[in-house]
Amino acid sequence: MRSNTVPFPVVLLVALLACQALFTAVLAQNETASVSIVTMGYTPVGDTLADTGVKAKDYPNVALISIKTKTGQTTTCTGLIIQVDKVPVLLTAAHCASDSTRKNSAISVVIGLDTESQFSTMCDTKDFPTCRKFKTLKIIQHPMYGHPKCDPQGTVDTMGYDVALWVLTPKNKNIPLKIDSKYLRINDKTSVPPSSSDVPITAIGWGQINVGNAQMMKAAATSFVHKTDLTLRKDPSECEKLYKLCPGSGPRFACVSNKAGDSTCNGDSGGPLYYKDLVWAITSFGSSKCGDGKPGVVLRTSGFYHWVQVTLKEINSDKEFLASQKA
């Protein structure tokens, strides 16, 4: 799973590459060098199931999010369903879409995919019940997302509130939605993962892959869900300095990296990071040249766990809304 291996065949989606520029911002210059931040999330090389080692049955609640605006722009994010009953709820990055975006875009949310081709041929059928399509009913961004801003000129959230919950409904309500509760858990402890040393972690996502170039100069959309092994850095100060993270935001962020060639990229935003089998973070942002060796920034679930629980309680107590979904 290294970006400097022989290129694998991939499907090049020009629309995704074009939209990358729309979601890239450049940080102010300082003594550390010029750093570009991609606000849409990443993944390694390889575009076959054998390359990725990821199958839907192992991550049944990981979602592919596709957002197409009325102007024809298409972006991709990754998400994680964290509630099935009483109504499905998805966890992802706040920068992926707002509720106003939802009202003016065609949004697709799908889980249970091994390959993107299954989307149109197999999802929501009795022969393939684990692949499900959803309609997005509401997008709830963290109330502190984007406010206040440490850097008024910046276009990414450096406070640590880049998180949102999406309220969903299955497009085919005749097939029960079943996901084992063990997959729905997210970490609530600040001590997990341990910070005594660099810790191996795994990122999952539908982000762009690198076609044989360690500096990510040639990127392509993927037709498979991918995973990559990263390292949680014991010392987060490099990310704090490199990306000018807001003072006091440290407990909400974590700094992850690996050697050049592996990281997260456009389309992985909102995707889960696992410590062992527990989701402890979601992808937020990083260098625009995915895989260039610079660390990436992720949000610890422990930093927004309380908000998630309060918001889920509010969603689940809306009897009128829940009744309308059973109709």
Render pLDDT for 89-113 as a digit per residue (tens, 0 to 9): 999 999 999 998 898 889 999 998 7
Confidence of residue 40 (pLDDT cuts 50, 70, 90): very low
**3-class SS at 315?**
helix
Indicate the burial class of 83 (C-beta count within 10 angstroms; 0-12, 13-18, 19 or more). buried
Domain boundaries 14-326, CATH class: mainly beta
Render pLDDT for 215-269 as a digit per residue (tens, 0 to 9): 444 455 566 788 888 889 888 888 999 888 998 898 999 999 866 567 777 778 9
Q: Work out the average pLDDT over 173-179.
A: 88
Confidence of residue 61 (pLDDT cuts 50, 70, 90): very high
Render pLDDT for 288-319 as a digit per residue (tens, 0 to 9): 777 778 889 999 999 999 999 999 999 999 98
Please say whether the beta carbons of 202 and 226 come within 8 A.
no
Assessment of whether the complete model's pTM goes beyond 0.85:
no
**3-class SS at 213?**
coil
Indicate the burial class of 33 (C-beta count within 10 angstroms; 0-12, 13-18, 19 or more). exposed
Tell me which of 177 and 211 has the higher pLDDT.
Answer: 177
